[in-house]
Amino acid sequence: MASTNAYAGNITEELCDPAESDTGFGAGTFNGKFYSWFELTQEDKTDCNTKISFYDEATRHFRVEWNVAESYGEDAIGGMGWSKGSRNRKIGYNVGELTTNSSIQKALVALYGWSCDTTNGKETSQEYYIVDTWDGGKFVPWDENTNSPAEKYGSVKANGAWYDVYKVGREGAQACFGGDEIKFEQFWSVRRSPRGTGADRNIDFRPHANRWDNNDMKFKVGGLKKVIKLWL
pLDDT of 91 strictly over 80: yes
**Mean pLDDT over each residue of the chain, to the nearest integer:** 78
Burial of residue 200 (CB within 10 Å: 0-12, 13-18, 19+) is exposed
Among 136-140, 171-175, 207-211, 222-226, the range with the most confident prediction by mean pLDDT is 207-211
Among 120-124, 146-150, 161-165, 199-203, the range with the most confident prediction by mean pLDDT is 161-165
Domains defined along the chain, listed by start: 5-231 (2.60.120.180)
* DSSP per-residue codes, the chain: -B--GGGTT---EEEE--TT-SSSEEEEEETTEEEEEEEE-TT---S--EEEEE-TTTTT-EEEEE---SSTT-EEEEEEEESS--TT-EEEE--S------SS--EEEEEEEEEEEEETTEEEEEEEEEEEEEESS----EETTTTEEPEEEEEEEETTEEEEEEEEEEEE--SSS--SSEEEEEEEEEESSPPPSSS-EEEEHHHHHHHHSSTTT---GGGEEEEEEEE-
pLDDT (0 to 100) of residue 38: 76
| pLDDT tier for residue 65 given thresholds of 50, 70 and 90 | confident
pLDDT above 90: percentage of residues in the chain: 26
pLDDT (0 to 100) of residue 2: 37
pLDDT of 225 strictly over 70: no
pTM (predicted TM-score): 0.84
Higher pLDDT, 95 or 27: 95
Output b/e per residue, 46-80; b: 16+ Cβ within 10 A: eeebbbbbbbeeebebbbbebbbbeeeebbbbbbb
